[in-house]
Structure 1
Amino acid sequence: MAQILALSRSLHLQHKLRVGLASFRARSMSSLNTRARAVFSAAVEGVQPDMVVRRGLERHGDKLHVGGQSFTLTNNLYLVGFGKAVLGMAAEAERIVGDHLIKGVVSVPHGIQNTLRSHGKEKMLLENNSRITVMEGAKHNLPDTDAQKSAECIRDLASSLTEKDLLLVLISGGGSALLPAPAPPMSLQEKQDVTRKLAAAGATIQELNTVRRALSLLKGGGLAQCASPAKVVALILSDVIGDPLDLIASGPTVRSESSPEEVWAILDNYKLSESLPSSVKEVLSNSMPSRRSRMKNGPQEVKDNVLNVVIGSNTIALECASRKASELGLRPVILSPGVCGDVRSVARLYGLLSSFACCPGKEPPPELAAAILKLGPEVGIESWDLCRTMNVLVGERKEGWGATCLLAGGEPTVKLIGKGRGGRNQELAMRVGLELSDEEVKSGAVFLSGGTDGQDGPTEAAGAVTDGELKEEAASQGLDTDGFLANNDSFTFFSRLSEGRRLLNPGLTGTNVMDVHVMLLPPSPQKDLQ
C-alpha cells in the first residue's frame, strides 16, 4: 500500500511538472511572440522614408550637407524620384530644403496616395502647396504607359538643368518599373518582352539588369547623363542585397560599365538573339556610351558630377532591430543582411541553428556545426558569419545568458509549383515552423519573417510568426501542411490556422529594404523554473 501511495505521489508530481513546464513554454512562447513582433516593428521604423532622409540630408542656412559633402543652395535645387518609398522621401526632403526647391517630379506606384491616406500615413504625403508633381504608374509593379510618361517628364526636367543647378534624385525599391524609358525606336512593349523572356529562361538579376540598362535611356547612368553639367546628388533606399548602386533601380545615376558585347553574350546564352525585334537589334548595334554622348556630354563628366549615397538598407534595419532587442532584455546577434537562395534551404539553416543553440549537453555535436557551415553557400551567408554566430550561441549556453535574438535579412526565393496565395516570408515561416516541430528536443524558439514594405507577395500580410507547435496545431485543425506547401498556399494556411493569429499584418509601411528574419531562442526552461 505504501508503495502504491508513493507511486501515486510520484506520478502526481510528474504530472504537475509536465503541466508546469507546458504552462511555462506557453507563457514563454507568448512573450517571445510579442517581442519578435516588436523587434520587427523597430526594424521597419528605423528605415521609414522621413527618418532615413533626415539622417542623410541636413541643411544649415544655405548649405546642404550630404554624404560628407556640402552644396550651396541659391534657389537652384530640383528634385526627381522613383520608387515605392519615394513619396515619403520627397515630402521630408521638401521640408528640409524649403524654398530653395524650384521644381520636382516623382514617379510612384499606382494608387499609393489613396492607400497612404487610408492607412493614416499623411506625413508621407506632400503638402497642398508642394512644388513637386506626383505621377502614379506601374500598376501591379510592371512598367506601363503611365510610368513611361513619368519617366519622360523626369528626363525633360533633368535635361533642362545648367551647371549652376543641383538635382536631388530619390531612389527606392520598385524604381526600375517606375522609370521605363526605352531607347528609340524600341517600344516599351518590345523592351518588356525581351526582359520577360530572359527571366523565363532563368537569367539572373544581374543579367536582367545588364540588358535593361542597355535598352534604356535613363538606366545605367542615363539620368545623370541627362542632368549633366548640373551636380547630381542621389539618396538611395536600397532593396538589393549588398547595396550595389548599379543594380538598385538599375542604376540611373551610376555609370554603366557594360558593353554591347556583354549584352549580346547574355542574349546568345539564352538563345534569344535571333528572335529579337529589329528595333531592339538596332538599339544594341550602337554602343551605349556613344548613344548617351549624343544626348548631352561625355560619360566621364557624369562620374565627376554625381554623388550616390545609400541612406537606408537592410543592414540599418537590422541595427535598429538589434537595439530594440536589447531594450526588451534579449541578447541580439546579427547573422547576415544577405540571406538568399531557396526558402527550403534557408528554413533548414534556421532549424539547424535552433538545434545548435538548444541541444542537450554542454557542447553541440561537431556534425551539427558542419551541417550549418555546409548550408552557408546555398543561402548566401559567409562561413565566418556562421562561425561567429555559433561561437556566440555556445558562449550563451556556457554562461547562462537569457533569451537570444538572432537577426538576419535579405531576399530568399520560392520555387513556384502551385497556384495558391502567399509570399516568400509566409512560406519561409511555415517551413521554419515545421523544422522546429521536427526537432527531437523542441527548443521553444519563435521565428518571424516579414517584408519591410508590409506586403508579402499578392497578399495583405507582410509575413508570419511561427514556432515548434505549428505541426501539432495544424493537425488539430485538420490542415495538411504538405498540401498547402505543394500549392504555394501559405497565406491561406496561416489565415485558417488559429483564425490567422500568426499572420504579421503591419499594413503598408511606406518603405522597402527587403525582408527581416527574427528568431528568438529562449533560455533553458528548467533553469527558469527553479
Structure 2
Amino acid sequence: MTAPPPRGGTATPGGFLRGLFDIAVRAAQPVHRMAQALPAPPRGRTVVLGAGKAAGAMVHALEALWPQDAPLSGLVVTRYGHTPPLPTGLPARIEIAEAAHPVPDAAGLQAAERMLALTHGLAADDLVLCLISGGGSALLTLPCEGLTLQDKQTLNRALLHSGATIAEMNCVRKHLSRIKGGHLAAACAPAQVVTLAISDVPGDDPAVIASGPTVPDDSTCADALAILTRYGITLPHAVQAALRRGDLETPKPGDPRLAGQQVHLLATPQQSLQAAAEAAGATGLAVYLLGDAIEGESRDVGRVHGAMARAVAQGRSSLQRPCVLLSGGETTVTVRRAEGPAPRGRGGRAGEFCMGVAEALQGQPGVWALAADTDGIDGMEDNAGAIVSPDTLARANALGLDLAGHQQRNDAYGFFSALGDLVVTGPTHTNVNDFRALLVL
C-alpha cells in the first residue's frame, strides 16, 4: 500500500481507508491462529458446537486442521447468508445451520434445541469444541421457562433500540436463556470443553462474547432486573417474578461442572487495529491508535472523532499530520421515536458514527473518514458502513439532503446511499467489532 495523494489519483484517500479496513478484516479470519489453540484428539468423541457470524469460517478452518482419521461431528449456527463456500476437497463433517440476526427466529430456536440435545450422553473421555463469535446471542436462542420466542423477539428489539451497552444486553440475555451464560458448558459435563472464540466486545471478556454460553457468569438476576428497569423494558409477570426470586441464576465461577474448561481467543479488535496501523505506518503516515474498546452513543463518538481530526488538520493539536486515527469498540444507537410524516430511517452504528463525523468536520479540507462493521453488515442493512469526505456536506446540500433530519430519523443508510458513499462488502465471515479510521492530510 502506498501513501495516498492529497487529492485525486488512482489511490484515493477513500480507497486507502477501504484498504486499511480490508487488512483489518483479513487479520481477523479464524484460520490464522486456530492451529496452535487446538487440543489433541481425545480418546472418546469430538463434538463441535457453536454460534456466531464467524461460525461458518471457523468450521471450515477446523475441518482443514483436524486430522482426517479422527472422528468429528457437530452443529453450529450462523446468520443467514454468512456460510462461506466449502473449500474444494474439504469434508463437511460438521453441520452449519443458519438463522436470523439480530432478532432471533424459529430456526435459531431449533438449532439451540438440537445443540443442547447433542450434549446428552457425553463422557469424561469426550471433547467438546465450542466455536463462539459475535452474533451468537441472537442466533443461539433457547428461552427460559415462561418466555416464548415471540417474547424474546420483542425483548431483543427493545434492547437494540434502548441504547444499552453490549455487556448490559448480554447480562439480560444470559438470565433469560437455558443455553447462554455458562449453561451450554454445564450441559456438556463431564466432557472436556475447549472454547475457540472471536471477540467482538470491548475488553474481550469471554463471558460477554455471544453471552458466554461456555464460561461461568458472575452477573446476577438482580443485575439483569436492574438493567431492564433502567431502560424501561418489561417482561411477562411470571418471568419478572422469577428474576426477583433469583430462580433464573446462571452457573457461577467455581461451579464444578465448568472446572477445567479452556478458552482461546483466535481474533480480537486490537489485533485487527494493529494490522491496519502497521500497514498505514509503512506508508510513512503517523498512526494514532485511540483504543479498541470505545463505547458510547455512536453519533457522539463520531462527533468527538471528527472534532479531533479537524483540530489536527487546523494545526490545533499535538498530533502531527499527515496521519491516521484508528479506533474500535462497540458503540450504541438509541433509536429516536419517529415524529411527523417521515418514517424511521435505516442504518447502524457505523453509519451513525459517520453522520456524527460529518457534522463535526463541517467540510474540513484534507480529512476523510471510514467506519464499518467488520462482519460486513451495519445493523440490519446490506452495507458494512460508510465513508465521509471533505465534500460530503456540500454534495448532500446539492442533493437536498438534510443531515440533521437524517440524524433525527436514524437514517444513516438513506443519507450515505444517496451520496454513493456506502461501504458494501457482503459477509466477511468474521466479526471483531467496529473499525474506524480517519485520514488527515
Query: Structure 2 length as normaliser, TM-score?
Result: 0.86
Deviation at 1:254, TM superposition (A): 1.1
The structural deviation recorded for 1:42 is 0.3
Contact map agreement 1:214 1:284 (CA 8 A) in 2: no
Aligned residue among 47, 51, 69 for 1:82: 51
Asked if 2 retains the 8 angstrom alpha-carbon contact of 1:240 and 1:513, the reply is yes
Aligned pairs for 1:342-491 within 5 A: 342-360=297-315, 364=316, 390=318, 393=319, 396=320, 403-417=322-336, 418=338, 419-437=344-362, 439=364, 442=365, 444-491=366-413
Distance 2:96 2:310 in 1: 51
- Please tell me the root mean square deviation across aligned C-alpha atoms, in Å: 3.1
2:95 alignment counterpart: 133
* Structure 1 SS opposite 2:139: coil
Matched residue, 1:335: 290
1:96-495 alignment runs, 5 A limit: 96-98=65-67, 99-113=69-83, 116=84, 121-123=85-87, 127=90, 129-137=91-99, 139-184=100-145, 186-193=147-154, 205-266=166-227, 276-278=236-238, 281=241, 285=245, 287=247, 300-360=255-315, 364=316, 390=318, 393=319, 396=320, 403-417=322-336, 418=338, 419-437=344-362, 439=364, 442=365, 444-495=366-417
Asked whether the 8 Å contact 2:182–2:214 carries over to 1, the reply is yes
Q: Which moved more, 1:261-270 or 1:304-313?
A: 261-270
Which has a greater percent of helix? 1
Q: Which residue of 1 aligns with 2:18?
A: 37
Q: Distance in 2 between matches of 1:507 and 1:266?
A: 34
Return the TM-score normalized by structure 1. Answer: 0.73
Residue 213 of structure 1, CA deviation: 1.9
Contact kept? 2:353, 2:371, Cα under 8 Å: yes
**Residues 354 and 371, structure 2, Cα contact 8 Å, conserved in 1:** yes
Q: Which has the higher contact order (CA 8 A, sep 6+)?
A: 2
Give the corresponding residue for 1:386. Answer: none
In structure 1, the gaps of 5 or more residues are 1-23, 59-64, 370-389, 398-402, 523-530
Structure 1 residues 190 and 488: CA distance shift in structure 2, 3 A:
closer
How much has 1:85 moved relative to structure 2?
Answer: 0.9
Summarize the Cα distance change of 1:287–1:459 in structure 2 as closer, same or farther, 3 Å threshold. closer
1 CA distance for matches of 2:142 and 2:422?
39
Q: CA deviation at 1:229?
A: 1.1
- Equivalent pair of 2:21/2:276 in contact (CA under 8 Å): yes
User: One-letter code of the match for 2:30?
Assistant: P
Give the aligned residue type for 1:424.
R
Q: Which amino acid aligns with 2:416?
A: F
2:428 maps to amino acid: T
With over 3 angstroms needed to count, the CA separation of the structure-2 counterparts of 1:85 and 1:490, relative to structure 1, is same
State how far apart, in whole Å, the 2-side matches of 1:233 and 1:261 are.
30
Q: 1:225-251 deviations in whole A, cap 9, x for unaligned?
A: 111111111011111111122111111
Change (3 A) 1:503 1:105: same
**How far, CA to CA, are the matches of 1:476 and 1:201 in structure 2?**
34
Which deviates further from its counterpart, 37-46 or 455-464? 455-464
CA 1:187–1:48 in 2, change beyond 3 Å: closer, same or farther? same
Q: Is 1:219–1:251's contact at 8 Å kept on the other side of the alignment?
A: yes
Change in 2 beyond 3 A, CA 1:452/1:196 = closer
The answer to whether the 8 Å contact 2:377/2:426 transfers is yes
Structure index of larger Rg: 1
Given the superposition, is the C-alpha separation of residues 448 and 281 from structure 1 closer, same or farther in structure 2, using an over 3 Å criterion?
same
**Equivalent residue number for residue 426 of structure 2:** 507
* Contact 2:120 2:188 (8 Å CA) reproduced: yes
Q: How far apart are residue 495 of structure 1 and its match?
A: 2.3
Q: Distance in 1 between matches of 2:376 and 2:427?
A: 5
Counterparts of 1:37 and 1:262, CA distance in 2: 40
* Secondary structure at the counterpart of residue 458 of structure 1: coil
- For 1:413 and 1:231, the matched residues in 2 are separated by 36
Q: Distance in 1 between matches of 2:384 and 2:391?
A: 21
Q: Is the 8 A contact 1:35 1:328 kept in 2?
A: no
Q: Percent identity?
A: 33
Q: CA deviation at 1:50?
A: 3.0
Q: Distance in 2 between matches of 1:353 and 1:193?
A: 38
Aligned-partner residue type, residue 359 of structure 2 = L
What do the CA deviations read for 1:109-155 (whole angstroms, capped 9, x no partner)?
A: 23444xx4xxxx544x994x422122222x24322222122112211
* Structure 1 residues 316-352: Cα deviation after superposition (integer angstroms, max 9, x where no partner): 1101111221333333221111222123322221222
Give the letter aligned to residue 270 of structure 2. T
Amino acid at match of 1:310: L
CA pair 80-459 structure 1, distance change in 2 beyond 3 A:
same
